[in-house]
A and B are shown apart, each in its own frame.
Chain A
Amino acid sequence: MTAVTLHRRYRLPADNLTVAGVAVLAVLVAVAILAPLVAPHDPLAIDFSAALSGPSSDHLLGADQSGRDVLSRLIFGARAGLLGPLLVVTLSTVAGTLLGVLAAWCGGVVDAVLSRGMDFVFAFPALLLAITLVAMFGPGLSAPVVAMSIAYTPYVGRLARGVAMREMSRPYIHAYRVQGWSGWTICLRHLVPNVLPLIFAQSAINFGYALMDLAALSFLGFGTQPPVPDWGAMINEGASALLQGAMLPALAPGAAVVITVVAFSTVGEGIADRVARRQR
């Protein structure tokens, strides 16, 4: 009794927060898709007369060193900013779920091999793997995306394996087996749907992390290449303007990264909470 009361009292109203997170993400996605319509300027248009000018009615968030409109670059930057993590999360979620469920379902040697394999990949921090792949294949979006997809797969895989193992220990799976259903049917129709909600929660949180890591790579010059607008690269370019007193070219994309990541982790935690509550 006490435990439950305490737990409730300490928690923020998760549902309102989740709704707010979803709203922020919806706006972001809409802005990214409608970028050409929403952006006030061409993100690539150089106008040296406006270089490092502060906020004005023409440039709401000012202009960068080459006089490009910061707001427009921010809006177009959302495309690269969301596309990269989307690819990473999709690839790692599909691969991780498959490997995790496979390991749990087959057990024995398959489980041992897959689990050791995932442990091995764990030894490489995602960012390091990405940097190594960039060293091999050169900068751009593809090497980091491939590297991060590989690095994130074991996180999803381990979770999927754990949830699947727990689910399989429940009587209903055994009941289906006794009734003569095939392994595949049970796996796809009953096991996977039960595993997915928690995986999605984890994937939403991973989305935020992938976004941070990919932005870091762009910041280092390893990711999306200029002049394509990208938040990480904008921060890198804006860093030197910082010392000249122009804050917005670097701070605006910084804020965009933080807000997006907060939104994703809020939504992820919201989903995880909901799953936990439903299972109680």
Chain B
Amino acid sequence: MGGPLLDIEELSVRLPPGQAARPILDAVSLRVSQGEAVGLVGESGSGKSVTCRAVLGLLPERTSVGGRIVVGGQDVLAKPAAWLREFRRRRVAMIFQDPRASVNPVRRVGDFVTEGLRAGGTPYKQALARAEELLEAVGIDDPRSALRRHPHEFSGGMLQRVMIAGALAAEPDLLLADEPTTALDVTTQAEVIAILSHLRTARGMGMLFVTHDLELAAAICDRIYVMYAGRIVEAQATGGLFTRPRHPYTAGLLAATPRLESDQPPHGVAGRPLSLAEAPDGCAFAARCHLAEDRCREHRPALEVLGHAHVACLRAEEPVHD
């Protein structure tokens, strides 16, 4: 593993003033090294998708943003539109959640796969040849005729492969995957994940993998960040996270996952997930935490180093977790 490919430092995001004015992210720091797969896990509304979009500079207009997003030594947030376009074409690619909604239904699959390349100036014929290779690489039969077909002629899983091919077209250093398998059924999920992680490793790309599924993240990621209500609450290498979760929320997520080998029924984290806008002054998780004390509701824990982990919990050092 090389140096840092993506370095998010203290990222804060607030949606534009007006009816929707609300904070989304608060001081999120996150790092992806070259060739490393990093998971970003949290419930819906926790801000993980916004983090992902922020890396590409894809936030709505007039959003107020604080902190830095450094990719290859350059701060993405400070760059003009023209630089961002070039950056999106060559450096970072994103895979979206719902392939059915993400591929323009009225254009051909070939148009989709080659679109980024052609925006970067690759001649049409050359881009088409490249697209054919890519479709083959993601396991689509008869790629040549697939290029001429329309999205509605593909299943969801096949279309997500098309999306992966499109993302790989520019040979990016960094892949952002925003819940790439949530919209698919379980058997297709496994295939898509296998293709994604195989191609990523083969091409030595770094990846930020956003999901609500801790188990899935563990299967393909080296390290995992856990997010709650717009803040990172825990970061650890995958192994450590599973054997010794430091934050009660992480522990709760792990316990909520049904397991074959366990004879205990899974139990969910009680209560409803919060967004940053709704979070109270103290620890945002306090209301749902069975370990919460009065001080948890008054003081907000900072993300601190604890052994090999980073954790934001006032009681992290106490032995109560074990």
Binding site for B on A (CB under 8 A): 2, 5, 8-9
CB pairs A–B below 8 angstroms (9 shown): A2-B60, A5-B15, A5-B19, A5-B20, A5-B60, A8-B19, A8-B20, A9-B18, A9-B19
Distance in Å: Cβ of B115 to nearest Cβ of chain A? 21
CA separation between A207 and B19, bound complex, in Å?
Answer: 35
CA separation between A64 and B60, bound complex, in Å?
Answer: 57
User: Which B residues touch A8, using CB under 8 A?
Assistant: 19-20
CA separation between A249 and B18, bound complex, in Å?
Answer: 47
CA separation between A2 and B58, bound complex, in Å?
Answer: 11
B15's nearest neighbour on chain A, judged by CB, is A5
User: Which B residues touch A9, using CB under 8 A?
Assistant: 18-19
B20's nearest neighbour on chain A, judged by CB, is A5
DSSP class of A's interface residues: helix, strand, loop or mixed? helix
CA separation between A5 and B18, bound complex, in Å?
Answer: 10
Distance in Å: Cβ of B60 to nearest Cβ of chain A? 6
User: Which A residues touch B18, using CB under 8 A?
Assistant: 9
Distance in Å: Cβ of A14 to nearest Cβ of chain B? 14
A8's nearest neighbour on chain B, judged by CB, is B19
User: Which A residues touch B19, using CB under 8 A?
Assistant: 5, 8-9
Q: Which 8 A-B pairs have the closest CB atoms?
A: A5-B20, A8-B19, A2-B60, A5-B60, A9-B18, A5-B15, A5-B19, A8-B20
User: Which B residues touch A5, using CB under 8 A?
Assistant: 15, 19-20, 60
CA separation between A8 and B19, bound complex, in Å?
Answer: 9
B18's nearest neighbour on chain A, judged by CB, is A9
User: For residues 18 through 55 of chain B, which have their beta carbon under 8 Å from a beta carbon of chain A?
Assistant: 18-20
New contact pairs (7) apart from A2-B60, A5-B60, CB-CB < 8 Å: A5-B15, A5-B19, A5-B20, A8-B19, A8-B20, A9-B18, A9-B19
User: Which A residues touch B15, using CB under 8 A?
Assistant: 5
A4's nearest neighbour on chain B, judged by CB, is B20
B58's nearest neighbour on chain A, judged by CB, is A2
Distance in Å: Cβ of B198 to nearest Cβ of chain A? 32
User: Which A residues touch B20, using CB under 8 A?
Assistant: 5, 8
A5's nearest neighbour on chain B, judged by CB, is B20
CA separation between A5 and B19, bound complex, in Å?
Answer: 8
Distance in Å: Cβ of B20 to nearest Cβ of chain A? 5
User: Which A residues touch B60, using CB under 8 A?
Assistant: 2, 5
User: For residues 62 through 78 of chain B, which have their beta carbon under 8 Å from a beta carbon of chain A?
Assistant: none
A6's nearest neighbour on chain B, judged by CB, is B60
Distance in Å: Cβ of B275 to nearest Cβ of chain A? 10
Give a binary string over B6-23; 1 marks a CB under 8 Å from any A CB, 0 the rest.
000000000100111000
CA separation between A9 and B19, bound complex, in Å?
Answer: 9
CA separation between A8 and B15, bound complex, in Å?
Answer: 14
CA separation between A274 and B106, bound complex, in Å?
Answer: 32
CA separation between A5 and B15, bound complex, in Å?
Answer: 10
Distance in Å: Cβ of A10 to nearest Cβ of chain B? 12
User: Which B residues touch A2, using CB under 8 A?
Assistant: 60
CA separation between A9 and B15, bound complex, in Å?
Answer: 13
Distance in Å: Cβ of A21 to nearest Cβ of chain B? 24
Distance in Å: Cβ of A230 to nearest Cβ of chain B? 46
User: For residues 48 through 107 of chain B, which have their beta carbon under 8 Å from a beta carbon of chain A?
Assistant: 60
Which of B15, B18, B19, B20 has the largest count of A CB atoms less than 10 A from its CB?
B20
Distance in Å: Cβ of A162 to nearest Cβ of chain B? 22
B19's nearest neighbour on chain A, judged by CB, is A8
Distance in Å: Cβ of B139 to nearest Cβ of chain A? 32
Distance in Å: Cβ of B203 to nearest Cβ of chain A? 31
A9's nearest neighbour on chain B, judged by CB, is B18
Distance in Å: Cβ of A15 to nearest Cβ of chain B? 14
CA separation between A2 and B20, bound complex, in Å?
Answer: 10
B53's nearest neighbour on chain A, judged by CB, is A2
B45's nearest neighbour on chain A, judged by CB, is A1
Distance in Å: Cβ of A44 to nearest Cβ of chain B? 55
CA separation between A2 and B19, bound complex, in Å?
Answer: 13
Distance in Å: Cβ of B94 to nearest Cβ of chain A? 15
CA separation between A8 and B20, bound complex, in Å?
Answer: 10
Distance in Å: Cβ of B264 to nearest Cβ of chain A? 36
CA separation between A2 and B50, bound complex, in Å?
Answer: 11
